[in-house]
A and B are shown apart, each in its own frame.
Chain A
Amino acid sequence: MNSKDLLKNFKSVPVDLMGVNDRIARIKSRSVKAEAKIQGLHMALNMIDLTTLEGADTPNKVRQLCYKAMHPHDQMNGIPTVAAVCVYPSLVRTAKEALKDSDVKVAAVSTYFPSGQSTLEIKLKETQYAIDEGADEIDMVISRREFLQGNYEYVLSEIISVKELCHKNNVRLKVILETGEIGSLDEVRKASDIALLANPDFIKTSTGKIGQAANMQVTLVMLQAIWDHYQKTGVQVGMKPAGGISDAKSALHYLIMVKEILGAEWLSNKWFRFGASRLANDVLMQLAKQESGVYQAPQYFSKD
């Protein structure tokens, strides 16, 4: 179906801000302790997309990050790997080679990340390049330029084009809404619903390149959109909050939120990811604290 037909009966769903805040407050008041905490922390670590998206990235920096992805903290037993390493397309090959003996995936940001200010033709070319280099997953950005002008058909058709290219090559697609640039929670819900019409594999909050990154409000609204889409179509879509989640305690709050809104089927790195670079070490520090009983210091954990 083309984007025009898909959007024919599109209705925007208003979001109740007070309701969202109230639900988050209740989720945050939960305390996860002892064994459940250790299980949650292992899970969170295994859901991380370890990310480096800098102009200053070099092959050696990416190799180092890949080592960290496979060996988060060898001093402790039973520590899982992270889910994926997320890099620019030009570094996909390096990452793929470094990770070849592991289950860690390589995700590439694409479609003129982070701004998306280019033509569809160039975006598809870039995506094809990332796939040819060996990417397992593509993180695309939506065109905020067109979204903010109300040109939803364009936004959706672009997502559909990229998705078709990805799925043809057996590559999973994450769609970044960049919620910090699209405005209120109502708009976030609208953007989520539009992106979900394309049935991508994940929707994702942010690029991490602007001040406002993922927060619990935005994530809750997007999770709810995923649930409604699942109820309507039976298609399971994953969620990836990215940027701004840097401590283990918040990560556990996110997991509680996923469990409550979507259920246990979403609690694996196939359907839920954290886009983060600092989170991994805080999770490791909390795991070490649970094991040793002593609060840890950052300098005893490898930076990347």
Chain B
Amino acid sequence: MTRLNIQKTYKIFIGGKFPRTESGRFYPINNSKGELIANMCLSSRKDFRNAVVSARKAQSGWASLTAYNRSQILYRLAEMLETRRASFIEEMLLLDLSKKQAEAEVDGAIDRLVYYAGWCDKYTAVFSSVNPTASAHFNFSVHEPTGVVAAIAPEHSPLFGLISVVAPAIAGGNAVIVLASETKATSSISFAEVVQNSDVPGGVINLLTGNMAELALHMASHMDVNAFVIARKGLAEASKMAVVENVKRMIDWTGKMNIQDPYKMLELQEVKTTWHPVQTSATGGGGY
């Protein structure tokens, strides 16, 4: 007897759950021969709004985990991805990536997660500073996460590109809402299954699928988003202006996916500088 294949329903990922888009809309993803590979959610601005609420709720808890714990969780993501390497490659082959390209996508993504896992508990030590002062004060600067980050992931690199945007943001204690690749979103959403099984608190990573032209302006103008990352060509001028209007960070990583360094984390950090009087204790001898 022949067996009927069971198709996966690709949904979006908000607050650690897999809802359908509230709009009920979808769009087809086809391969180059025009065959239907999957139907994806065509997310609306309301899905984005819901994701911001989830991200905002989750962010402070994520940032207050110990850096070591965040590091472990990022490493766990890499472990989970490694065990599913074959299925991710298979999924991308359906969308006409070559075997070599698909392998590079998955391996690059795993390595990138491990790289930023390593930086979680080191970047503050490396980049914070004790600043010179002219009075009896300490003055030091430390990095703190900027908060909720909205990002548009690259179009042609559905997994590696996505993770290159997500990893530096969450390693530094931010929560993200990412609009995945439109035409190759299948492996982006499968990555959400990895996230859900890796102790990442719900709401820290949120993934939407849909159309950049429709959503970018809402992502850029939302007052409760602290930074906007664009890693795809073709962002409308109006969206750039909207980012400026409500004074959030605009970070352009278009074409910069191959750069792997801790400075990407710093772009999504605020620097807090604090003054503190130098304490002199009677028993301790001189100043601290």
A contact residues vs B (CB 8 Å cutoff) = 293-298, 300
| Shortest distance from the beta carbon of B158 to any chain A beta carbon, whole Å | 27
Closest to B45 in A: A295
B224:A294 contact, CB within 8 angstroms: no
Taken together as a complex, chains A and B put the C-alpha atoms of A295 and B148 apart, in Å, by 14
| Shortest distance from the beta carbon of A299 to any chain B beta carbon, whole Å | 8
B224:A296 contact, CB within 8 angstroms: yes
Closest to A294 in B: B221
B222 at the interface (CB under 8 A from A): yes
Closest to B222 in A: A295
Q: Count residues on chain B whose CB falls below 8 Å from chain A CBs.
A: 10
B236-263 contacts to A, CB under 8 A, are: 242, 246
B223 at the interface (CB under 8 A from A): yes
Contacts of B156 in A (CB 8 A): none
| Shortest distance from the beta carbon of A3 to any chain B beta carbon, whole Å | 47
Partner of A297, one of B45, B218, B224, B242: B224
Taken together as a complex, chains A and B put the C-alpha atoms of A300 and B218 apart, in Å, by 18
| Shortest distance from the beta carbon of A256 to any chain B beta carbon, whole Å | 18
B85 at the interface (CB under 8 A from A): no
Taken together as a complex, chains A and B put the C-alpha atoms of A131 and B200 apart, in Å, by 53
B264 at the interface (CB under 8 A from A): no
B42 at the interface (CB under 8 A from A): no
Tell me the number of A-to-B contacts counted with CB atoms below 8 Å.
Answer: 21
| Shortest distance from the beta carbon of A250 to any chain B beta carbon, whole Å | 14
Taken together as a complex, chains A and B put the C-alpha atoms of A296 and B224 apart, in Å, by 6
Partner of A296, one of B45, B218, B223, B242: B223
**In the complex, which of the residues A294, A295, A300 has the most CB atoms of chain B within 10 Å of its own CB atom?**
A295
Taken together as a complex, chains A and B put the C-alpha atoms of A296 and B242 apart, in Å, by 13
- Per DSSP, chain A at the interface is loop
B224:A298 contact, CB within 8 angstroms: yes
Contacts of A294 in B (CB 8 A): 221-223, 242, 246
| Shortest distance from the beta carbon of B111 to any chain A beta carbon, whole Å | 36
Contacts of A298 in B (CB 8 A): 224
Taken together as a complex, chains A and B put the C-alpha atoms of A300 and B246 apart, in Å, by 12
**In the complex, which of the residues B218, B221, B223 has the most CB atoms of chain A within 10 Å of its own CB atom?**
B223
Taken together as a complex, chains A and B put the C-alpha atoms of A123 and B242 apart, in Å, by 57
B52 at the interface (CB under 8 A from A): yes
B246:A295 contact, CB within 8 angstroms: no
Contacts of B224 in A (CB 8 A): 295-298
B203-232 contacts to A, CB under 8 A, are: 218, 221-224
Task: Please give 7 more A-B residue pairs, beta carbons under 8 A apart, in addition to A295-B45, A296-B223.
Answer: A294-B222, A294-B223, A295-B49, A295-B52, A297-B223, A297-B224, A298-B224
Taken together as a complex, chains A and B put the C-alpha atoms of A294 and B224 apart, in Å, by 10
Taken together as a complex, chains A and B put the C-alpha atoms of A49 and B87 apart, in Å, by 55
Taken together as a complex, chains A and B put the C-alpha atoms of A301 and B68 apart, in Å, by 36
Contact with A along B37-66 (1 / 0, CB 8 A): 000000001000100100000000000000
Taken together as a complex, chains A and B put the C-alpha atoms of A298 and B49 apart, in Å, by 13
17 of the cross-chain contacts (CB-CB < 8 Å) are A294-B221, A294-B222, A294-B223, A294-B242, A294-B246, A295-B45, A295-B49, A295-B52, A295-B218, A295-B223, A296-B223, A296-B224, A297-B222, A297-B223, A297-B224, A298-B224, A300-B223
Contacts of B222 in A (CB 8 A): 294-295, 297
Contacts of A297 in B (CB 8 A): 222-224
Taken together as a complex, chains A and B put the C-alpha atoms of A298 and B60 apart, in Å, by 15
Contacts of A295 in B (CB 8 A): 45, 49, 52, 218, 221-224
Contacts of B49 in A (CB 8 A): 295
Taken together as a complex, chains A and B put the C-alpha atoms of A295 and B150 apart, in Å, by 13
| Shortest distance from the beta carbon of A86 to any chain B beta carbon, whole Å | 27
B159-215 contacts to A, CB under 8 A, are: none
Taken together as a complex, chains A and B put the C-alpha atoms of A207 and B45 apart, in Å, by 36
Contact with A along B106-139 (1 / 0, CB 8 A): 0000000000000000000000000000000000
| Shortest distance from the beta carbon of B45 to any chain A beta carbon, whole Å | 8
Closest to A299 in B: B224
| Shortest distance from the beta carbon of A82 to any chain B beta carbon, whole Å | 23
Taken together as a complex, chains A and B put the C-alpha atoms of A294 and B242 apart, in Å, by 10
Contacts of B242 in A (CB 8 A): 294
Taken together as a complex, chains A and B put the C-alpha atoms of A297 and B45 apart, in Å, by 15
Taken together as a complex, chains A and B put the C-alpha atoms of A296 and B218 apart, in Å, by 11
Contacts of B246 in A (CB 8 A): 294
Closest to A298 in B: B224
| Shortest distance from the beta carbon of B214 to any chain A beta carbon, whole Å | 15
4 closest Cβ pairs, A-B complex:
A297-B224, A297-B223, A295-B222, A294-B221
Contacts of B45 in A (CB 8 A): 295
Taken together as a complex, chains A and B put the C-alpha atoms of A296 and B222 apart, in Å, by 6
Taken together as a complex, chains A and B put the C-alpha atoms of A295 and B222 apart, in Å, by 5
| Shortest distance from the beta carbon of B51 to any chain A beta carbon, whole Å | 11
Taken together as a complex, chains A and B put the C-alpha atoms of A29 and B226 apart, in Å, by 32
